[in-house]
Amino acid sequence: MSQPKIPLDLILENLAEDAEKSTKLARAGSEVLLSQLETGIATTPYDVVYEEDRVKLKHYRPVADSKLRTPLMVVYALINRETMLDLQPGRSVVEKFLKEGIDVYMVDWGYPTRKDKFLTIDDHINGYMDNIVNFIRRRHNLAKINLMGICMGGTFSVIYSALHPQKIRNLVTTVTPTNFDTDQGLLHIWMKDIDVDRMVDAFGNMPGDLMNFGFLLLNPARLMIDKYVGFFQNMDDKAFVENFVRMEKWIFDSPDVPGETFRQFVKDCYHMNLLIQSKMEVGGKRVDLKKITMPLLNFYGKYDHLVPPGACELLTSSVGSRDTEDVCLDTGHIGIYVSSKCQREFAPKIAGWLRERDEKGKRTKPARTKSTIKQIENIMKANQEK
Amino acid sequence: MGEDQGKSTGTMPLLEAWMKSATEFWASMANIGSISTTSGEEKPQQKEAQKSRAQETLESALKMLGSLSSAAGEPETADSIFKGMNVFPGMMSKIAQTAWETYSHFQQQWMETAGRAGSRTEAYKFDDLDKDVFRAWSELYEQEFRKFLHIPQLGLTRFYQERMSLLSDKYTIFQGIIAKFLHILSLPMEKSFKVLEEKVASLADEGNLPQDPNDYYKIWIKVLEGHYMVLFKSPEYTKALGETLDAMEDFLLVRQEMFQDLMQTLPVPTNKEMDDVYKELYLLKKRLKKLEKEHSTG
């Protein structure tokens, strides 16, 4: 007897088995969902040491002897919340930094309301950020501190470092867009065509929920279907459910973005790509990337669909510093901070890199000065002539 | 005509008698009014001065009615009234005719509009029905119905009425565009099922049909993801996204203006007023912070 082309009997048998499994899963899942779940996020202890308007500065309580003289200030994006760096014990960048002996400060941008709609990029960078940097400098009696930026917070950190290089010892940028003239990510394609003036006039502040909906539309098959199928398939696993709910809590906790800040960010960056060309103006001053002379460590994700490599990798070659390093991880936009694999690489790499450059900059290669640039140019010219 | 004349002359004395009695009635009413106001011991000049405006108005109205009755009682006037009564049926029929013509005209316009609505989609053709529905709807609305919302408004409340009409207009456009956008978003889903069918058929031909139902899901979700990526990178999608956002923003802006009108009647500040305060506060704070910085560094 020959084998049938369509093994209908086997398919039906598997289907019946699956139906039985699904029933068991649903029963077990409902027990898990009805049980006491640990879904708290941002549980690492901290103190609010500075407040200005809606903005707060968190200082995490040290858990180990400080191995770095210079504290680290972390600046998150205005989109979503900084709680992503401290999702859960054992999967927290903040926790890892503390264990590595880094003194960690984190900016919490809060929830902008209608009264914040006039706040510009200048107000965020030369206002809030500068006040916070000065506060930390005074608190530690230091001339310079370390600065780490995430996504849009990274872009702010780049601008800040270019405008106030005398206050920053080392700069770490992670998934930070600086070159917006790329077709690698859908966000970059879509943003080019939006009428931001009309949008800001209509909404005042850019609604966080609308932006979140836009992010879901970047990959609806995975983010709106497959993700929840995965949840259903694992709903009998308490640890999985807890992690899943934590992530949901973080993803949909989206503050609005102040209207004027959004307007300038879209126009200057997405529409005109001024930052990477050192043509952007903030607070009446040109943001010259060549003034970023401090060491720079630049992280980005190979599979990041929001801030693709093309948006990140030009930074190191555009700044004035010669102590620069690009690190491309095999992950996406969020995976850098939360995936177990990246957890092993990301925070330890930053801690080690900062430690190397902490001892009064002894081991830090000198920043490019006018004379060194001239020397390099002469050498290159001589090589070309040869 | 002669018969009519005869009828009218027959009723003439009756009308004259009624008019006369009406004149006498209004005259006596006026007298009663003035007597009641002048009774008592007060001097006539004082009383005159104390006459209320209401009394004056009443007296004047009664006098006017009296004169009208007396004028109407005159034989010439009565004759003219009768002539007018003869014309009345003709006048009524003329008004009715005009109203009917106007109604017919509007009905014809609506019928034509409805007829054009039918002509915008091809009968018994369902290939492009989904696409055509949105195109036909937007064309129909923009060319046939929209103009009614743009009829110039008149009078004191014209601006409010205009804003109401504009809100209906923008809302209808937004609904049409969002329906089209959602339809575009549903296309990959539709296509992915077709591709899945084809893949399953080819796997069946090869004899490699997966036995685990989960494998079918994995094939489908991969196909769906691919279709969405293709759609999202297309200029048509970017255009539709832009149109949807524009329509939503237009609607929100007009809605804000409408709320502004409504809020003005309530004892609460409007968004516009609060925005003015916020801006003032923002500028003051900025100035203060700058001065503080200058003071601390100086």
Nearest-angstrom CA–CA distance, A143 and A169: 9
> Quick check: B58 pLDDT over 80?
no
- pLDDT tens figures, A340-351: 888 889 999 999
Nearest chain A residue to B186 by CA: give it: A220
* Kind of pairing between the strands at A72-75 and A104-108: parallel
Q: How many CB atoms lie within 10 A of CB B156?
A: 7
Residue A191's pLDDT band, with cuts at 50, 70 and 90, is confident
Residue B8's pLDDT band, with cuts at 50, 70 and 90, is very low
Task: State percent of chain A over pLDDT 70.
Answer: 91
Q: Distance, in angstroms, between A386 CA and closest chain B CA?
A: 47
Q: Does B242 touch chain A (CB under 8 A)?
A: yes
Q: How many CB atoms lie within 10 A of CB A103?
A: 21
- b/e string for A161-193 if b means 16 or more Cβ within 10 A? bbbbbebbbbbbbbbbbbbbbbeebbbbbbbee
Residue range A217-237: mean pLDDT, rounded = 92
Q: Would you state the pLDDT for residue B48?
A: 57
Tokens for B27, please give them: 């005259």
CA nearest to A98, candidates A322, A350, A276, A333:
A350
Out of A58-62, A76-80, A370-374, B275-279, pick the least confident: A370-374
| Record: contact B253-A229, CB cut-off 8 A | no
> Quick check: B37 pLDDT over 60?
no
| Record: contact A199-B211, CB cut-off 8 A | no
- pLDDT tens figures, B78-118: 666 666 666 667 777 777 787 777 777 767 766 666 666 55
Q: Does B225 touch chain A (CB under 8 A)?
A: yes
Nearest chain B residue to A214 by CA: give it: B241
User: Rounded to an integer, what is the distance from CA B193 to the centroid of its chain?
Assistant: 45
Residue range A307-329: mean pLDDT, rounded = 96
Nearest CB to A114 within list B211, B252, B274: B274
Q: Would you state the pLDDT for residue A381?
A: 59
Q: Distance, in angstroms, between A5 CA and closest chain B CA?
A: 5
| Record: contact A221-B221, CB cut-off 8 A | yes
Q: Does B280 touch chain A (CB under 8 A)?
A: no
Q: Does B207 touch chain A (CB under 8 A)?
A: yes
| Record: contact A221-B286, CB cut-off 8 A | no
> Quick check: A375 pLDDT over 90?
no
> Quick check: B1 pLDDT over 80?
no
Nearest CB to A189 within list B217, B233, B275: B233
Q: Does B278 touch chain A (CB under 8 A)?
A: yes
Q: Sort out which chain B residues have CB atoms less than 8 A from A222's CB and list them.
A: 221, 225
Residue range B272-289: mean pLDDT, rounded = 94
Looking at every residue in chain B, the average pLDDT score rounds to: 77
> Quick check: A245 pLDDT over 60?
yes
* Kind of pairing between the strands at A296-301 and A168-174: parallel
Whole-complex ipTM: 0.79
Out of A53-67, A168-182, A195-209, B153-167, pick the least confident: B153-167
Please, which residues 125-184 of chain A have a Cβ atom closer than 8 Å to chain B? 127
What values do phi and psi take at B12, rounded to 5?
-55, -50
Q: Would you state the pLDDT for residue B152?
A: 84
Clarify whether A151 is annotated catalytic. Answer: yes
Residue A183's pLDDT band, with cuts at 50, 70 and 90, is confident
Residue A113's pLDDT band, with cuts at 50, 70 and 90, is very high
Could you give all domains of chain A from N- to C-terminal order, each with its CATH number?
Answer: 46-201+255-376 (3.40.50.1820)
Comparison of pLDDT for B269 and A109, the residue scoring more: A109
Q: Does A51 touch chain B (CB under 8 A)?
A: no
- Would you say B119 and B139 are in contact if contact means Cβ atoms under 8 Å apart? no
Nearest CB to A14 within list B205, B212, B256: B212
Residue range A100-111: mean pLDDT, rounded = 97
Q: Would you state the pLDDT for residue B21?
A: 72
| Record: contact B221-A226, CB cut-off 8 A | yes
Q: What is the dihedral of CA A334, A335, A337, A339, to 10 degrees?
A: 140
Q: Where are the domains of chain B?
A: 2-99, 126-267
Residue B55's pLDDT band, with cuts at 50, 70 and 90, is confident
Residue B14's pLDDT band, with cuts at 50, 70 and 90, is low
Residue B130's pLDDT band, with cuts at 50, 70 and 90, is low
Nearest chain B residue to A223 by CA: give it: B225
Q: Would you state the pLDDT for residue B12?
A: 57
